[in-house]
């Protein structure tokens, strides 16, 4: 390899004069072959040998930058390696950001037969591309030392992704379950999340393109819900029926019944478990509303009352535990208490009532029974 380099160096240094010499010799050969031009046979043979080695055709790989020949190498890998090195050097020289660096130039590595002095090794190739070790030259030279028309240009592709928040909104509902001027935050909203990916392109360290490649909402924002009290406001209840407070069966409907030896008006509906015990099961608010009572109340035991507006309230009693407080805003289906046996009872159950303008009425027509699993009377 070393002798090959020395030979190459020799060829490069002497190529111009050898070329003239060879041309002269060829002319002499053509014009004055019979007379041998005054050279001895051995001199002619020597010249032909130098000429032959100078113009020896060797298999290799030519490296072309933007169509211009730079140098040849006997290894395509050496050319690629040099290009990779120069790309890193350029990234440093231009202060390019982190990313995928490559040359913007048209780079071609063409396998073929090249002349001996076209060849250079990886280190020399780096030098031709401008990397002088301690300094950088922006002019690319070919293997014969002549500058080529193109200069190297570094392209950096950078992908940046980020989650950006999507602000949540606020829904305001009016209700006469609250006094005028009173507001309750029923549900705190949550911001959504948008995932975005940008493809940035830098040329020689300068941002030239910023493309939004992908934008996906990974979490939808959830609006907060605010209730605003108003005497003339629309009711929270509207005309819709209320959901069942408990997924069980009715053990006693509204009406007259005899209990503890006395005939009384049973002023609500009793619910118990579908399959056995219901103690500790969740009791759900039958509609949106504001908690107006959440405490012990004589025979009712632990009792919760929810005002739904329009003069309608719901009542839940004999609870083992209350999970809301007076003033709380609750949404339909929210757990407000646990079934128990507090107050005047014969066993664990939920006594559910509906009050219209403060009077306990038959809750049956107010409830939506479509999901009821027992036998509806």
112: three-class secondary structure by DSSP: strand
Rounded Cα–Cα distance for residues 285 and 288 (Å)? 7
Question: In angstroms, how far is CA 192 from the centroid of its own chain?
Answer: 13
Rounded Cα–Cα distance for residues 236 and 258 (Å)? 36
Nearer to Zn ion, 60 or 268 (CB): 268
Supply the minimum distance, in Å, between the C-beta of residue 341 and Zn ion.
Answer: 12
Closest CA to 175 of 237, 243, 241, 242: 237
Supply the minimum distance, in Å, between the C-beta of residue 299 and Zn ion.
Answer: 10
Nearer to Zn ion, 143 or 269 (CB): 269
Span near Zn ion by CB under 5 A; candidates 104-112, 184-192, 231-239, 264-272: 264-272
Tell me phi and psi for residue 315, to 5 degrees: -135, 140
Rounded Cα–Cα distance for residues 338 and 322 (Å)? 6
134: three-class secondary structure by DSSP: coil
Span near Zn ion by CB under 5 A; candidates 24-32, 45-53, 223-231, 349-357: 349-357
> According to CB under 5 A, which residues from 71 to 100 bind Zn ion?
none
Question: In angstroms, how far is CA 195 from the centroid of its own chain?
Answer: 4
224-229 and 170-175 as β-strands: parallel, antiparallel, unpaired?
Answer: parallel
Nearer to Zn ion, 103 or 304 (CB): 304
Interior angle at CA 150, CA 147 and CA 151, nearest 5:
90
Span near Zn ion by CB under 5 A; candidates 28-36, 59-67, 192-200, 266-274: 266-274
Nearer to Zn ion, 233 or 268 (CB): 268
Rounded Cα–Cα distance for residues 306 and 323 (Å)? 13
DSSP letter (8 states) at residue 244? P
Supply the minimum distance, in Å, between the C-beta of residue 274 and Zn ion.
Answer: 18
Distances (CA, A) of 310 to 227, 228, 249, 251: 14, 14, 28, 29
Supply the minimum distance, in Å, between the C-beta of residue 277 and Zn ion.
Answer: 17
Nearer to Zn ion, 86 or 306 (CB): 306
Span near Zn ion by CB under 5 A; candidates 103-111, 237-245, 336-344, 347-355: 347-355
Under rule CB under 5 A, how many of the chain's residues touch Zn ion? 3
The closest residue (CB) to Zn ion is 351
Nearer to Zn ion, 155 or 315 (CB): 315
Supply the minimum distance, in Å, between the C-beta of residue 254 and Zn ion.
Answer: 9
Binding mask 306-345 for Zn ion (x = CB under 5 A): ----------------------------------------
Supply the minimum distance, in Å, between the C-beta of residue 265 and Zn ion.
Answer: 11
Nearer to Zn ion, 268 or 289 (CB): 268
Of 66, 78, 176, 270, the residue at the interface with Zn ion (CB under 5 A) is: 270
Q: Which two tokens stand for residue 258?
A: 């005899």
Of 155, 174, 351, 354, the residue at the interface with Zn ion (CB under 5 A) is: 351
Nearer to Zn ion, 78 or 270 (CB): 270
Supply the minimum distance, in Å, between the C-beta of residue 246 and Zn ion.
Answer: 13
> According to CB under 5 A, which residues from 213 to 232 bind Zn ion?
none
Buried b (16+ CB within 10 A) or exposed e, 175-207: bbbbeeeeebebeebeebebeeebebbbebeee
Strand order in the sheet with 321-322: 282-284, 335-338, 321-322
**117 touches Zn ion by CB under 5 A:** no
Residue pair 195/214 in contact by the 8 Å Cβ criterion: yes
Binding mask 121-160 for Zn ion (x = CB under 5 A): ----------------------------------------
Sites of contact with Zn ion (CB under 5 A): 268, 270, 351
């Amino acid at each position: 390899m070393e002798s090959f380099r020395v030979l190459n160096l020799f060829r490069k240094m002497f190529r111009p004069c050898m070329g003239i010499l060879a041309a002269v010799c060829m002319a002499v050969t053509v014009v004055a072959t019979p007379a041998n031009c005054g050279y001895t046979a051995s001199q002619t043979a020597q010249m032909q040998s130098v000429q032959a080695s100078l113009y020896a055709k060797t298999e290799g790989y030519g490296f072309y930058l933007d169509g211009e020949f730079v140098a040849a190498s006997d290894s395509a890998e050496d050319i690629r390696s040099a290009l990779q090195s120069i790309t890193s050097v350029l990234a440093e020289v231009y202060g390019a950001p982190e990313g995928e660096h490559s040359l913007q130039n048209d780079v071609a590595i063409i396998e073929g037969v090249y002349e001996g002095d076209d060849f250079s090794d990886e280190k020399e190739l780096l030098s031709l591309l401008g990397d002088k070790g301690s300094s950088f030259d922006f002019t690319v030279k070919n293997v014969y030392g002549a500058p080529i028309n193109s200069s190297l240009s570094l392209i950096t592709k950078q992908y940046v992704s980020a989650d950006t928040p999507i602000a949540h909104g606020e829904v305001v509902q009016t209700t006469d379950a609250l006094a005028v001027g009173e507001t309750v935050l029923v549900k705190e909203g949550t911001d959504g999340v948008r995932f975005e990916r940008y493809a940035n392109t830098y040329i020689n360290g300068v941002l030239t393109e910023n493309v939004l490649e992908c934008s996906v909402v990974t979490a939808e924002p959830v609006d907060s819900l605010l209730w605003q009290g108003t005497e003339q406001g629309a009711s929270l209840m509207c005309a819709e029926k209320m959901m069942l407070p408990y997924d069980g069966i009715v053990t006693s409907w509204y009406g007259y019944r005899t209990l503890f030896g006395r005939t009384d008006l049973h002023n609500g509906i009793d619910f118990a478990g579908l399959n056995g015990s219901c103690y500790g099961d969740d009791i759900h608010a039958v509609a949106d509303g504001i908690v107006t009572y959440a405490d012990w109340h004589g025979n009712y035991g632990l009792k919760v009352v929810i005002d739904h507006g329009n003069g309608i309230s719901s009542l839940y009693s004999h609870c083992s535990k209350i999970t809301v407080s007076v003033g709380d805003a609750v949404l339909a289906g929210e757990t407000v208490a646990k079934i128990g046996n507090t107050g005047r009872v014969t066993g664990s159950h939920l006594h559910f009532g509906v009050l219209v303008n403060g009077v306990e009425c038959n809750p049956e027509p107010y409830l939506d029974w479509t999901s009821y699993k027992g036998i509806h009377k």
